[in-house]
Amino acid sequence: MPFKELVLASHNAGKLKELQAMLGASVRVRSLAEFSEVEPEETGLSFVENAILKARNAARVSGLPALADDSGLAVDFLGGAPGIYSARYADGQGDAANNAKLLHVLKDVPDAERGAQFVCCLALLRHADDPLPILCEGLWHGRILHAAQGVQGFGYDPLFWVPERDCSSAELPPAEKNQLSHRARAMALLKQRLGLA
């Protein structure tokens, strides 16, 4: 492992805890909130671009290696939308509004055409000007339900059917979700690249 600590390019305490647990005790993960109250605008046109943009900003303001995550839901019938706009699909009105909009847009679409995947792109930069970021992607394939099911998780979890478990993502215990999810898959690849697996 080339370093003992890094900064997570996020103010999200839940994401910090989750990624710290996935990386283990050999690396101390610090929050961007320790260094700056401001998060950069996500102006990229892909998950990769936004992850790199966030990691560069975090490395610049902290002086530490930085890890950023850009995630979202890509629905096949919608050509990959909401994609990078997943969190603000319903104009920033929150998870319930995002889910309602997605259900409305897909209301007459049959099951066979409701395929979707959660996407996670992790970007790790050794320093702010790192020309060779480590990029790891995780995909979690499923389909969009016709109505919400389950109360666990957040975001689109109640609408995301997990075929291998025959339930929605929001019906999975958190520990099980964290072994199957797009973020877990991307993190497993990153740990391999860093020699932590």
Catalytic residue numbers read 70
Query: Bridge-partner residues for 136, per DSSP?
Result: 122
Provide CB contacts within 8 A for 160, sequence distance 6+.
73, 116, 118, 142, 143, 144, 145, 168, 169, 170
Q: From CA 72, how far away is CA 15, in angstroms rounded?
A: 14
Written as six digits, the tokens of 87 are: 């969190």
| Residue 132: Cβ-neighbour burial (10 angstroms; 0-12, 13-18, 19+) | exposed
Phi, psi of 122, deg, nearest 5: -100, 135
Cis bond leading into 82, ω under 30°? yes
